[in-house]
Amino acid sequence: EAEVAQSPRYKITEKSQAVAFWCDPISGHATLYWYRQILGQGPELLVQFQDESVVDDSQLPKDRFSAERLKGVDSTLKIQPAELGDSAMYLCASSLEASSVEQYFGPGTRLTVT
């Protein structure tokens, strides 16, 4: 069964450093989501892509976070510089299209900022 791939699974970085996460959605899925999940909370949508275009990035802290999906397939989420408060699980999900009710989640990247 096709799955959403994410790497790395775990990342420890020092504050003020740059960090990047990668996501490869299920083949053929046009919509890709990045979520941030702080410990003890539910996931929060950071950015939504439809193909290579950003549909919603209203919750993305744009002063330090950036996301791209250049060819409309895989995606990279970057944080520069990382802050202690960025420690969280970063989840990627994909769906066939923006109006799909099924989102398929990857295993996540657990980020610790020291």
Q: Which residues bind another protein (CB under 8 A)?
A: 40-45, 48, 56, 89, 91, 98-103, 105-108, 110
Minimum CB separation of residue 52 from another protein in Å reads 19
Q: Residue 47: what are its φ and ψ, rounded to 5°?
A: -155, 145
Classify residue 74 by its DSSP letter.
S
**What 3-state class would DSSP assign to 31?**
strand
Q: Which is nearer to another protein, 82 or 108 (CB)?
A: 108
Cβ(106)–Cβ(93) below 8 Å: yes
Q: Which is nearer to another protein, 16 or 100 (CB)?
A: 100
Q: Which is nearer to another protein, 36 or 69 (CB)?
A: 36
